[in-house]
Amino acid sequence: MKKSKLLIILLSSAFAARIIFALMFVDLESENYWEFGELAKNVLDGKDYSLFYPTEEGVGFRSVDTDSPRPSAYMPPGYPGVLIPFMLIENIVLRNMMIMIFQALLSVIAMYLLYRYTLLRFNEKTALIAAAIYAFLPEFIYASTSYGSVIIYHIAVSAMTMLMIRLENSDKTRDFIYAGLLLGGTMYFRPEFILFFAMFSVMLLRSGKMKKLILSFIIAFLCVLPWQIRNYYVFDEFVPMTTSGGQNFYRGHNPYRPGMWCDDEMVNNIKKLQADNKYELRLSKMYYGYAFRTIIEAPADEISRSAEKLFHLFLVNPYDDRTENLAYLLPWGLLIVFSILAVYKSRKNTDNRQLYLFLAYHAILAVVFFAIPRYQAMMKIILIPYAACGFMILVDYYFARKNTIE
């Protein structure tokens, strides 16, 4: 079979697997789109880009007729903006099915870009295996049927890593312009992605490309400038991308465990917050205050907490019941083994810098904030080419040994 036909079969199979999974396991009658959906609903209901409002329990975000949501920058408008057109479909089952189809198509795009990136790094057989892994890895099938930006992040990472190869070996200004546009667009979904590009830029400091790298950052800044202007207009102070930093920081630095949302003391203080247009800013500052108090009171615990969060990122998070599923554990274990084998075999290859950079970037995010299975799923995209390479190494070893014996 021609390899091009095999790729088409894999792409089609990936799409079909996601649609079948959605039909069998996704509650298509529910319209629980988390905060993303509530933001989209409020926009369509004429409440502007708003989310939280005070309640007797502390804070609410579900859109109801009687609430008065406050202006929000809790999440950048990327994924809520994606949901808005679908929210115009009144039939919930039809709406959810259209979202599932759209995200399955995004998965196919991510898979193709991953194939192209693997082809640049290794060879066509390895690239096809990488595509097959992405197509059928249960966690990625699940991610494509969840409401969030994981698959969009996979597209961004695959596209950016291909661009990074060109930026390292090219001086074409247009490549740096593309990088800036891609970075700016991705920040509307995952603002922290700028750290990854900044780390890559530091790696290229000696290449004499600083001016063009600065151009990339300027273009990215211009892309997100409308959102920043909006935030300054609404909150009357500078809010770069989101107001969720305080909450995420507290979830990584609290007296209990990584991922914890709040305690009774915090709930009582949330009820006392002034519910004006700066409600989210006050909420974030309160979370930051509690987090820094935890760090100051027990600074030595930060070492063990950091180690625990890295364990959650690179191995398993015991606080999430989904990680106990064999459909999650077994593929992840194999992915780790195959990836380590490929990295070891290519340890002298400087092309592995992208991998190390990406893993370091996610490790920094985990230590500063926290790690949950969704963040691990976002990180795994860069390991798949190496897992495919490790698998090929074992296959080649097996047949070489078999031929020797015969």
3-state secondary structure of 68: coil
Q: How far apart are CA 323 and CA 391, in angstroms?
A: 24
Per residue in 32-67, pLDDT (tens digit) is 899 999 999 999 999 999 998 888 777 888 876 657
Q: Which two tokens stand for residue 226?
A: 């409308």
pTM score of the predicted model: 0.94
Length of the chain counted residue by residue = 406
Q: Which of 392, 377, 387 is nearest to 343 (CA)?
A: 387
Give the number of other Cβ atoms within 10 Å of residue 4's Cβ: 9
Give the number of other Cβ atoms within 10 Å of residue 81's Cβ: 16
Q: Under the phi-then-psi rule, with left for phi > 0, alpha for psi from -120 to 50, and beta for the rest, what region is 208?
A: left
Q: Which two tokens stand for residue 116?
A: 């192209």
Return the ∠ at Cα 50 (arms to 47 and 55), rounded to 5°: 100
Return the ∠ at Cα 286 (arms to 237 and 377), rounded to 5°: 90
Answer yes or no: are the C-beta atoms of 25 and 150 closer than 8 Å: no
Instruction: Per-residue pLDDT tens, the chain, 406 aa: give them.
Output: 677 899 999 999 999 999 999 999 999 999 889 999 999 999 999 999 999 888 877 788 887 665 788 999 999 999 999 999 999 999 999 999 999 999 999 999 999 999 999 999 999 999 999 999 999 999 999 999 999 999 999 999 999 999 999 998 888 899 999 999 999 999 999 999 999 999 999 988 877 888 899 999 999 999 999 999 999 999 999 998 999 999 999 999 999 999 998 888 888 888 888 888 999 999 999 999 999 999 999 999 999 999 999 999 999 999 888 888 888 999 999 999 999 999 998 877 767 888 999 999 999 999 999 999 999 999 999 999 999 999 999 988 777 765 666 5
**Domain ranges (residues) in the chain:** 3-405
